Chains A and B, each alone.
Chain A
Amino acid sequence: MTTGATECLLQLYSDRHELEDYQKGVPRWCPGCGDNAILAAVQRLCRDEGLRPEKTVFVSGIGCSSRLPHYMRTYGFHGIHGRALPLAEGVRMSRPDLDVFVNMGDGDCCSIGAAHWIHAIRYNMNMTVMLHDNQIYGLTKKQASPTSPIGLRSNTTPGGAVLEALNPLTVTLGVQNASFVAQAVDWIPDVLYQIVSAAFHHRGFSFIRIVQRCPEWLPKMMDPWLQDPSRVLMLDHEDGIRLGPDLARVYKNQEKHDPSNIHRAREIASTLDPIPVGVLFRNDSVPCYEDLRHDDRLRTAELIGKGLDAEFDKFTVWPEGREA
């Protein structure tokens, strides 16, 4: 015989998940790929938040980044190139009881799916959105992406990329209804985790651009930033992320940035070097599209049947000559 209390404890125990409960298979990313850091951060988040694996959905597009759902022991939807966001919006609209995460690459989000990105910001649906930005097409073998820096030599730009890179932060902050914008880098895992966590806790479209390394195609590109911590601008604020004493010692280039200040956020977003890291902007009062469209009524057969009949009445010709 177990007492009620024991049963509760047992239930709590079975609801408690370890890191391994969210891990699946061996990631087939290159050693040193920034995707591994992002995967570790979200798995840790799932464990720390005690997310139920069956109530969690990772949606992705196509590319190296978009393999991430396959390595999560949750539900996942590995979609098509550029369309992760509308897929995730459909999931969210139909099932507000699920936690939705989105993983996309820079080609995925900023090129083929750019229209969806702009509109997803407007919809502000509650989801945690990670842009894995390695500034190159990886899976298709080294073509310039919209975020590739000018001059970058790639298979499609052998003489160097001719255009200025698109800045995902300024674009996102330029869209009316933006509610959460942050930037992380793959080589500071603790801060990456904090940012993913802050994004998860924000109700709305939480957009994180994660600057990540591609050891295969651009192995040295981020080296100058790795080697010189002052080329990272840490945004430290009680409404954003807090640097622990250890990190604070290394990353001395800091700014106390209040994420509610959109003008300063836009200035910071425009800074390319040093790379700003932290929560740039947050506005908790932007309504979520799924809430605006939500209907409290239970869609019972009775409700539908009655509603349908009322609609039929508008168009009915009754046998007796007048409306019944």
Chain B
Amino acid sequence: MDKAATPRLPKAATRETKPRKTVRRLSEHVIEIISDSGEGAQRCGQSLGAIAARMGNGVWTVEIIPAEIRPPARSVAGASGNRIRIGAGRVTNGGNESDLVVAFNEQVLLGRVQARELKPDCRILLESMWREDRDPRVAASYKETYDRLVAAGYRVTEIPMERECHKLVSDSRRGKNMFALGLLCSLYSLDLGLARDQIAITFGKKAESVIRTNVLLLEAGYAWAEENLDFKFEIPATRSDRPQIVVNGNTALALGTIASGIEICAMYPITPATSASHYLSEAFARVGGVVHQAEDEIAACAFAIGASYAGKCALTITSGPGYSLKQEAIGLAVMAEIPLVVVNVQRGGPSTGQPTKVEQGDLLTTIFGSHGDAPKVVIAPSTIEECFYAVITARKIAETFNMVVVILSDANLSSSQQPFPRPVFQESWLAPPLDQSPVPEGAKPYEWDPETGLAERLIPGRPGGMHTVTGLAHDTASHVAYDPDINHQGLRARSLKLASLQRTLKPPPLFGDPTGDLLVIGWGSTRGAIEEAVAAMRENGYRVSSMHLTFLQPMPPGIKEAMAGFKKVVTIEGNWSDDPNDAMIDESNRRLSALAMLLRARYLVDIECWTEVKGQPIKPNTIRRVLMEKLQEVGKP
């Protein structure tokens, strides 16, 4: 083990000729920076991701968030920080276990070890100050953990981060994160100039002296690593020839909201959706627009419906529990045919569940939710880029079909960052101006087209179009109707709109060959991990392909035909399905995953499912293992 306290080369020698380190070229690495919350590991990790992206590397960053604002210091459950996957090529997901971890204390590190998030031979850069802690229990705990980790095969390097920072700043606890960033920039051969720029961007709102101090800390970390560490990596980068945007999914949703022309977002704070509204509140200042923080989720939804009704399609953004509360109001928008965009950034459920963790548990509730038959459109972005375009698409569909469109994001997309080509704004993304022209004599508010179910909405301000919309069953003139035929007519029209939309959709493309042994179907944020696993298996000669669905309601055409090319079809999802090996479970009672259920019901194909609900993004290696098992089943009679 390299012990930083006793560097191998004499000081004099290092100053003149730097130790010649062999730089190992890597195709990718997964790096974690973890600390107690409030110590800045998240900022360090985000900066590292941004610098690597600026270098031209593929990047995916994932936040490691404790559920509490201030969990006790040095606690196993308190790990806060960031995981950054840096690759030579495009990176589409958080990847597998970590290759290198920077930890500010041994307890948060233990948390990650216990969560099995580290590779067996993971390198660990550990703050060594605890070894000399005045509290003998802390020192003992540190030494014991250190010895255990080393014995377990982890390659631990102790680094006196606090002591080194103390040479530059008085409150070294707060500067350590930039020192760590310097360490990592050296370790991964990242451009120090870009790192300095990044600090200027990160602390842009603060005083010049703050930036200067942080740059000093960065440089100190860099120098320390150059001098004292005997390993160094390089992940080759290729700069894109197009400008790239580096944002997380929630920021992308907010940018998409602006690009869509939506000017009212009504919300109520809820994890993990709220950061989208934070950013939108700030960005709306540039273009005009209101983020209305309502008194509750129901009011937020009703407010958005009111704004949409009056002519400007609005957005409400929430997560699972908030979505449940909005359900009745969503039904009203469906019944009255008022366009509405609802974003549900899914988290673990049911009830309060796992607020900061990823899950794909809300697919069925969004498709079938609200009482009665309430057809609405459900789309699920699968990349950060799709989060941006999803809002533009959603608003367009909502206004064209006078429907509710639900965007299903999740806690994986919401806080992960991935570069994507900078969009070029198009005027056609915006809604047309308010139509305030007089309504032709005799026109009615619900003149449902018998074929498509569509009707032209008459918004307030149009002379001659006066009518009262209602959540009650109504006829074409919006008169309350109890006639059974009229009720049927309304239900038919609202349902037909989905079919009309479906006719415009293209078959989803296949990743891999159109025929083979196994087809994997997924939706939402699992795309990157599924495709990575499938690509790896295909390289090894396995006949596996995958298909990812963006439209979940209505489903695009061509799915049945695609499935017909494979011996077996399996969905991979982040929601619950019973384990067929459990003693109580058999074919007659097994509860299947959401998408598998939907596909089986529609296509009468014996679709398998595999799901995981551990609150973490599903790893590519896990998917590979599952697919290998499924392939073996294909061989069986």
Contact = CB atoms under 8 A, between A and B. Distances in A.
A166 interface: no
Contacts of B283: 307, 311
Interface in B417-431: 419, 422-423, 425, 427, 430
7 contacts: A70-B470, A78-B471, A87-B302, A90-B266, A93-B303, A95-B460, A319-B241
A97 B460 CA distance: 10
Given A97-B461, A301-B427, A75 B306 contact: no
Nearest to A84: B302
Given A75-B468, A119-B299, A90 B290 contact: no
Contact of B460 (A98, A119, A322, A324): A98
A115 B201 CA distance: 42
Contacts of A57: 310, 460
B627 interface: no
B306 A86 contact: yes
Interface stretch (A143-151, A220-228, A270-278, A291-299): A291-299
B314 A90 contact: yes
Contact of A87 (B239, B306, B430, B467): B306
Given A77-B306, A95-B311, A309-B425, 6 more contacts: A54-B466, A62-B471, A94-B263, A304-B258, A312-B255, A317-B56
Contacts of B290: 93, 293, 295
Interface string A61-77: 01000000110111111
Contact of A80 (B263, B314, B425, B471): B471
Interface string B290-317: 1010111011111111111111101000
Interface residues of A, number: 61
A26 interface: no
A256 interface: no
A90 B306 contact: yes
B465 A304 contact: no
A54 B468 contact: no
A173 interface: no
A275 B245 CA distance: 65
A318 interface: yes
A57 B311 CA distance: 13
Interface in B323-370: 328-329, 332, 336
Interface string B261-273: 1011010000000
B5 interface: no
B464 A90 contact: no
Contacts of A311: 255, 258, 283, 286
How many residues of B sit at the interface, in one of the four size bands? 35 or more
Interface in A34-63: 52-55, 57-59, 62
Contacts of A77: 306, 309, 336, 468-469
Nearest to A320: B239
Nearest to B425: A305
Nearest to B445: A75
A62 B468 CA distance: 13
A88 interface: yes
Given A86-B298, A115-B295, A315 B306 contact: no
Contact of B466 (A74, A98, A299): A74
Nearest to B282: A311
A205 B277 CA distance: 27
B372 interface: no
* Nearest 3 pairs of A and B residues by beta carbon: A90-B306, A76-B468, A307-B286
A281 to B, nearest CB: 22
Given A94-B307, A311-B283, A83 B264 contact: no
A250 interface: no
A116 interface: yes
Nearest to A297: B288
Contacts of A163: none
A12 interface: no
A318 B245 CA distance: 9
A62 B311 CA distance: 23
B146 to A, nearest CB: 39
Nearest to A95: B310
Contact of B245 (A85, A95, A306, A312): A312
B72 interface: no
B302 A316 contact: no
A321 interface: yes
A19 interface: no
Nearest to B286: A307
B240 interface: yes
Given A93-B264, A311-B258, A78 B468 contact: yes
Contacts of B288: 295, 297, 299, 303
Nearest to A87: B306
A297 B290 CA distance: 13
B11 interface: no
A299 B305 contact: no
B463 A307 contact: no
Contacts of B263: 94, 299
B329 A80 contact: yes
A215 interface: no
Interface in B64-117: none
A133 interface: no
Contacts of B286: 306-307, 310-311
A292 to B, nearest CB: 10
Interface string A106-130: 0000000001101100000000000
Contact of B243 (A59, A85, A301, A319): A319
A91 B310 contact: yes
B195 to A, nearest CB: 13
A5 interface: no
Interface in B229-245: 239-245
A97 B310 CA distance: 10
B53 interface: yes
A77 B474 CA distance: 13
A312 B423 contact: yes
* Best-buried of B286, B301, B430 by chain A (most CB within 10 Å): B286
